[in-house]
Structure 1
Amino acid sequence: MNLMLKKILMIFIISLSNIVFGFAQNVQISLLTCDPGDQIYSVFGHSAIRVLDQETGEDLVYNYGTFDFDAPFFVVKFTQRTLDYMLSVTTYDRFLYEYQYFQRGVREQVLNLNDKQKEDVVKFLKINALPENRLYRYDFFYDNCATRVRDLFEEVLGKQLVWNDPKEPQEQTFRDLIDECIHPLPWYDLGIDLALGSVIDAKASEREKQFLPVYMEAAFARAQIEGDGPTRALAQASQPVLQFPQEESSASLFNPFIVMWLVAIIFMVVTFLGYKRRRLYVGFDVALFGVLGLLGLLIFVLWFLTFHSQTKWNWNILWAFPMHLVLVFALLKKEVLPWLKRYLMFALIMADAAVVFWILGWQSFHPSLIPILLVVILRTNFLYYNVEVFKRQRTNSIIS
Structure 2
Amino acid sequence: MIRTHLLKKRISILMASIAFLVLVMALPMVAWSQQTTETLPQTKRLSILICSPSTDVVYNRFGHAAIRLMDEDAGSDIIYNYGTFDNTIPNFEIRFMRGETDYYVEALPSAYYLNEFIQNGRGVTELVLNLSQEEISRVQTYLNRNIQPENRQYRYNFLYDNCATRLISIVKEATGGTLQIPDKGEERTWRELINGCCTDAPWVQLGIDMVIGSKADASATTEEQFFLPGRILDMLPHTTLLRPDGSASPLVMDTIELFSPLPFSTEPSEEGWPTPLAASIVLLALTIGIVVMDIHRRKICRLYDSIVMGIVGLSGCIIFAMVFFSVHPHTSPNYILFLLHPLHLLIGLPLTAIPRLRQAGFVYHFINFAELSLIGLVIWFLPQQVVMPLYVTGIAMWLLSARWILINKWRKNVR
Matched residue of 1:262: which SS? helix
**1:375 alignment partner, one of 396, 399, 404:** 396
**1:80 alignment partner, one of 95, 98, 101:** 98
- How far the C-alpha of 1:230 sits from its partner, in A, is 6.9
**Which is worse superposed, 51-60 or 274-283?**
51-60
CA deviation string 1:65-99 (max 9, x = no partner): 11112223222221211121111111212211221
1:41 correspondence with 2:59: yes
Hey, what does 1:9 align to over in structure 2? none
Q: Which amino acid aligns with 2:298?
A: R
CA deviation string 1:274-314 (max 9, x = no partner): 22222211211100011111111111111112222222111
Taking structure 1 as reference, are residues 308 and 248 closer, same or farther at Cα in structure 2, changes over 3 Å only? closer
Hey, what does 1:133 align to over in structure 2? 151
**Which is worse superposed, 253-262 or 199-208?**
253-262
Query: CA separation in 2, counterparts of 1:390 and 1:268?
Result: 24
Query: CA separation in 1, counterparts of 2:326 and 2:267?
Result: 36
Query: CA separation in 2, counterparts of 1:75 and 1:248?
Result: 28
Preserved CA contact (<8 Å) 2:181 2:222:
no
In the superposition, the TM-score normalised over structure 2's length comes to 0.83
CA deviation string 1:5-36 (max 9, x = no partner): xxxxxxxxxxxxxxxxxx98312111101111
Query: CA separation in 2, counterparts of 1:41 and 1:316?
Result: 24
**Which is worse superposed, 106-115 or 23-32?**
23-32
Query: CA separation in 2, counterparts of 1:383 and 1:229?
Result: 71
Which aligned pairs between 1:204-283 and structure 2 lie closer than 5 A?
204-226=220-242, 231-251=248-268, 252=271, 254-283=274-303
Preserved CA contact (<8 Å) 1:303 1:312:
yes
1:332 correspondence with 2:353: yes
Gaps of 5+ in 2: 1-39
Hey, what does 1:6 align to over in structure 2? none
Q: Which amino acid aligns with 1:270?
A: I
Which aligned pairs between 1:44-193 and structure 2 lie closer than 5 A?
44-159=62-177, 161-166=178-183, 169-193=185-209
Hey, what does 2:339 align to over in structure 1? 319
1:31 correspondence with 2:48: yes
- How far the C-alpha of 1:138 sits from its partner, in A, is 1.1
Taking structure 1 as reference, are residues 190 and 24 closer, same or farther at Cα in structure 2, changes over 3 Å only? farther
CA deviation string 1:329-385 (max 9, x = no partner): 112222245433332122123323444453114211222223211101111111122
Q: Which has the larger radius of gyration?
A: 2
Matched residue of 1:343: which SS? helix
Query: CA separation in 2, counterparts of 1:26 and 1:77?
Result: 43
**Which is worse superposed, 382-391 or 253-262?**
382-391
Query: CA separation in 1, counterparts of 2:155 and 2:414?
Result: 58
**Which is worse superposed, 365-374 or 201-210?**
365-374
**Which is worse superposed, 332-341 or 72-81?**
332-341
**2:316 alignment partner, one of 293, 296, 303:** 296
Preserved CA contact (<8 Å) 2:159 2:329:
no
Query: CA separation in 2, counterparts of 1:59 and 1:392?
Result: 75
Preserved CA contact (<8 Å) 1:190 1:256:
yes
Q: Which amino acid aligns with 2:263?
A: Q
- How far the C-alpha of 1:242 sits from its partner, in A, is 1.2
Hey, what does 2:386 align to over in structure 1? 365
Preserved CA contact (<8 Å) 1:174 1:201:
yes
Taking structure 1 as reference, are residues 357 and 91 closer, same or farther at Cα in structure 2, changes over 3 Å only? farther
Hey, what does 1:384 align to over in structure 2? 405
- How far the C-alpha of 1:229 sits from its partner, in A, is 9.6
In the superposition, the TM-score normalised over structure 1's length comes to 0.86
Matched residue of 2:82: which SS? strand
- How far the C-alpha of 1:56 sits from its partner, in A, is 4.6
- How far the C-alpha of 1:248 sits from its partner, in A, is 3.3
Query: CA separation in 1, counterparts of 2:265 and 2:383?
Result: 34
Preserved CA contact (<8 Å) 1:289 1:324:
yes
Preserved CA contact (<8 Å) 2:241 2:251:
yes
Query: CA separation in 2, counterparts of 1:353 and 1:141?
Result: 33
- How far the C-alpha of 1:239 sits from its partner, in A, is 1.6
Hey, what does 2:33 align to over in structure 1? none
Query: CA separation in 1, counterparts of 2:259 and 2:350?
Result: 56
Taking structure 1 as reference, are residues 355 and 34 closer, same or farther at Cα in structure 2, changes over 3 Å only? farther
Query: CA separation in 1, counterparts of 2:246 and 2:130?
Result: 12
Query: CA separation in 2, counterparts of 1:129 and 1:361?
Result: 45
Query: CA separation in 2, counterparts of 1:387 and 1:92?
Result: 71
Hey, what does 1:284 align to over in structure 2? 304
Taking structure 1 as reference, are residues 34 and 272 closer, same or farther at Cα in structure 2, changes over 3 Å only? same
Number of residues of Structure 1 aligned to a counterpart in Structure 2: 370
Gaps of 5+ in 1: 1-22, 394-400
Q: Which amino acid aligns with 2:151?
A: N
Query: CA separation in 2, counterparts of 1:162 and 1:80?
Result: 32
Taking structure 1 as reference, are residues 208 and 354 closer, same or farther at Cα in structure 2, changes over 3 Å only? farther
**Which is worse superposed, 193-202 or 211-220?**
211-220
Preserved CA contact (<8 Å) 1:108 1:240:
yes
Identity of aligned residues (%): 28
Query: CA separation in 2, counterparts of 1:390 and 1:105?
Result: 66
